[in-house]
């Protein structure tokens, strides 16, 4: 038997920071499912597939062999044998990924991979549909959110620290657009599972959120 914690929520809510810390604390593996959608997006970009061409994406996703390995505890995503992790965190890939993630064939393929992983390992998995679709029987489901303003400010700080020029209003608008696409798509839209605990991190520090979620898990397991 394996344990699983599902963390869903909109872009920039702090899911990966929080999920990583929880996984480390519990000795579970952290699975960043967004990175899988980003790897599939990267594949389509390199194949020159247009974002409007859902048919080509559906056919071609079968040619993308996506797998996950761990190096020093960090998730690495391999696409057809190549470690593509360094190319996945750009704003361009992130915004395109929310379009690619509306494709049913892409989702079927990646959900299967995610479910296989959770069968063999204790996992903290983050994404948009983990509690509602990928792991409906997760031991704990969390819906982690924060206001668009807070999320944009966090992203702005992160990019500025990396010396990347950016505009906070543009970031906030991208976040609002991405939320809309993720929440309004037909297949597995982003929504809080009925049995998920809502955590609004707008006024909470990282450690506060981590210890709250750990406490919830201990109560349930």
Q: Which is nearer to ligand DC, 115 or 215 (CB)?
A: 115
Which of 21, 141, 155, 178 touches ligand DC (CB under 6 A)?
178
Which of 37, 43, 44, 217 touches ligand DC (CB under 6 A)?
37
Give the whole-angstrom CA distance, residue 87 versus residue 207.
29
User: Which residues have a Cβ under 8 Å from the Cβ of 212 and sit 6 or more positions away?
Assistant: 199, 204
Contact range with ligand DC by CB under 6 A, out of 23-31, 54-62, 124-132, 210-218: 124-132
The answer to whether the beta carbons of residues 134 and 115 sit under 8 Å apart is yes
The answer to whether the beta carbons of residues 145 and 160 sit under 8 Å apart is no
Which of 33, 75, 85, 132 touches ligand DC (CB under 6 A)?
33
**String of contacts with ligand DC for each residue 182-201, x by CB under 6 A:** x-------------------
Return the H-helix or E-strand segment holding 47: none
How many CA atoms within 13 Å lie on the side-chain side of 78? 10
**String of contacts with ligand DC for each residue 77-116, x by CB under 6 A:** -----------------x--xx--x---------------
Q: Which is nearer to ligand DC, 37 or 43 (CB)?
A: 37
Closest CA to 200 of 148, 127, 163, 164: 148
Contact range with ligand DC by CB under 6 A, out of 121-129, 143-151, 163-171, 212-220: 121-129
Give the whole-angstrom CA distance, residue 62 versus residue 82.
16
Q: Which residues bind ligand DC (CB under 6 A)?
A: 11, 33-34, 37-38, 94, 97-98, 101, 127-129, 178, 182
């Amino acid at each position: 038997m394996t344990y699983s914690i599902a963390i869903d929520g909109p872009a920039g809510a702090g899911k990966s920071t929080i999920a990583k810390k929880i996984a480390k604390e519990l000795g579970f593996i952290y699975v960043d499912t967004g990175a899988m959608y980003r790897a599939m997006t990267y594949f389509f970009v390199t194949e020159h597939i247009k974002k409007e061409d859902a048919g080509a994406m559906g056919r071609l996703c079968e040619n993308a062999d996506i797998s996950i390995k761990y190096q020093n505890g960090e998730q690495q995503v391999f696409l057809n044998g190549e470690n593509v992790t360094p190319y996945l965190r750009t704003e361009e890939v992130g915004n395109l990924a929310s379009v690619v993630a509306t494709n049913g064939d892409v989702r079927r393929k990646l959900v299967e991979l995610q479910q296989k992983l959770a069968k063999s390992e204790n996992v903290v998995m983050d994404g948009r549909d983990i509690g509602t679709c990928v792991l409906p029987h997760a031991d704990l489901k969390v819906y982690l959110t924060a206001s668009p303003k807070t999320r944009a400010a966090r992203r702005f700080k992160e990019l500025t620290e990396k010396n990347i020029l950016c505009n906070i209003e543009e970031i906030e608008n991208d976040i609002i657009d991405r939320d809309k696409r993720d929440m309004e798509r037909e297949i597995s839209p982003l929504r809080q599972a009925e049995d998920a605990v809502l955590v609004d991190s707008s006024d909470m520090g990282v450690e506060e959120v981590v210890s709250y979620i750990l406490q919830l898990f201990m109560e349930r397991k």
